[in-house]
Structure 1
Amino acid sequence: MIENLAAGVQAFTSNAFLVAGEPGADSPPRNDANDANDAGRRVLVDAGSNFDVVARIGEHVEDLDAVVLTHTHPDHVGNLAAVRDAFDVETWGFDASLDQVDNELPDGGTVTMGTAEYEVLHTPGHKDDHLCLYAPEAGVLFAGDLIFQNGGFGRTDLAEGDRDALIRSIDRVRERLDGDLREMHVGHGPSVLDAPGEHVELAVRSARMG
C-alpha cells in the first residue's frame, strides 16, 4: 500500500506517502493484531506541510517506523516536527548534518519501506541532498522533485539548484530503471501509474530543451 496523505489538501505542501505492506495492495486493516507483520516497515516518505498529516497517518496505521526524506525543502518537512512528536520516530535522508535528518541514507545504500527494498540514488540538481528511491523487484520509484508527470522536472532557480546536475540525475535514474517500472510517485501532482517510464524519458528531453 502506498497512500498519498496530502491528496486533496489545498494548502502549499508536497505529497506525503505512507508506505505499508505490498506496493499496490490495499491499506492494511488498522486494528488487525497481525498488522505489523503484514505491513512490513511502515514508512512516511516526506512529511508535507500545512496540514494535519498525523491525523491522516492515524487513519491507516497506529504507529510509524521511520520517515524517509527525498530532500529537505520546507514544503517536504514542514510537518516533520509534529510527526516526530506523535510517533517518536527517527528520520532518514542523504545529509545527516541537517537538523531534519537523524540517519544517513548514502548513495547506493538500501532502505526497506513496506515489504520492498529500495535502492538509494543521490540525485542533486533541484537540491544538493535530493534522493530518489527505487525498488526494482516491485517496479516502484519515488522521484521526489526530480521528475513529475508528463515530463515535468524540478526547478533549479532556488538555492542549490543546478540544471546540468539535474539533467545528469534524471539520466542516472533513466539508466537505472530496468524497463519494468510500474509506479512513479512524485513530490507534487499525481502519481504516474500508466507507463511511467515514458514520463521519465520525456523529462530527460524536456530538461535538456528547457
Structure 2
Amino acid sequence: MITNIARGVQAFTSNAFLVEGERTVLVDTGSNFDAVGRIRERDAELDAVVLTHTHHDHVGNLQSVEDAFGVETWGFDTDQPGVDNAIADEETVRLGDHAYTALHTPGHKNDHLCFYSSAASVLFAGDLIFQNGSFGRTDLEEGDRRRLVESIDRVRDTVDEHLAEMHVGHGPSVTTDPYQDVELAGRAARMG
C-alpha cells in the first residue's frame, strides 16, 4: 500500500510516500509538518527512509523521522547530509512488497533518483516528472536542462506504456495513463 502522508498539508513540502509491506519505507520525508505523527497514525513500523533527492522540501523532516523510528536513510550520494547509505544507479531496492530499480536521473539535482518496479507497475518520479507533462526545475543549483531531458528519456525508455501509477514529488499522483505524462514531459522539457 502506498500512502502520501503529506496529503492535505498546507505548508511548503514535497510529497512523502509511505510504502507499506514486507519492508516499510518512507520515500522522501517532506518538510514543515508532523511526518512522525502521520506515520504513527497508520500504525506503521518504519524500516528505512529512501530519498529521491536532498532538496530541503524533501528532507526537512528527515532527522525527526530517523530519531523517532531508529531508521537509516538511503540515497544516491552519501556526501549529502542525512544520507547514511548509498543507492547505486540500477541497484535494486525493496519498497514495500516489490523490488524497484533505482535510476540515477540528474538534471533537477545531481543526486536525483527515480524508482521503478515493473512487477508493481509503479514509478516514483521525485521532481523529474509531474502530472500533465510538467517537469522539474532546472534554474536551481545543479539544475541542467540537457541532463534533465536525458533523464526523462531514460525513464521513458525504462518504464512501459502500461505503467499504472506514477508518484511524484509535488501535486497529485498519476493513475490514469502516466506513461503519457512521461512522454509529454520529455517533449515539454525540450521546448523550454
* TM, length-normalised to structure 2: 0.99
Q: Compute the displacement of 1:154 (Å).
A: 0.2
Q: Distance in 1 between matches of 2:178 and 2:73?
A: 28
Q: Compute the displacement of 1:179 (Å).
A: 2.4
Q: Say which is worse superposed, 165-174 or 95-104, in terms of deviation.
A: 95-104
The AA in structure 2 aligned to 1:187 is G
Q: Distance in 2 between matches of 1:136 and 1:63?
A: 25
Deviations 1:54-112 (A, max 9, x none): 00001113420000000000000000010010000000000012221000000010100
Is 1:127 matched with 2:103?
no
- Counterparts of residues 20-169 of structure 1 (less than 5 Å): 20=20, 39-169=21-151
The residue number in structure 1 matching 2:7 is 7
Count of aligned pairs between the two proteins:
192
Match of 1:188 among 170, 173, 176: 170
Larger C-alpha radius of gyration, 1 or 2?
Answer: 1
Q: Say which is worse superposed, 178-187 or 161-170, in terms of deviation.
A: 178-187
Question: Sequence identity of aligned pairs in percent?
Answer: 67
Q: Distance in 1 between matches of 2:65 and 2:164?
A: 29
Q: Where has structure 1 moved over 2 Å in runs of 4 or more? A: none
Q: Distance in 1 between matches of 2:101 and 2:24?
A: 17
Unaligned segments of structure 1, at least 5 residues: 21-38
Q: Say which is worse superposed, 61-70 or 126-135, in terms of deviation.
A: 61-70
Relative distance call for 1:84 and 1:197 in structure 2 (3 A) is same
Q: Distance in 1 between matches of 2:168 and 2:114?
A: 10
The 3-state SS of whatever aligns with 1:67 is strand
Q: Distance in 2 between matches of 1:45 and 1:61?
A: 17
Deviations 1:161-204 (A, max 9, x none): 00000000000000011222100000000000000000000000
The 3-state SS of whatever aligns with 1:173 is helix
Match of 1:205 among 174, 187, 190: 187
The 3-state SS of whatever aligns with 1:203 is helix
* TM, length-normalised to structure 1: 0.90
Q: Compute the displacement of 1:16 (Å).
A: 0.2
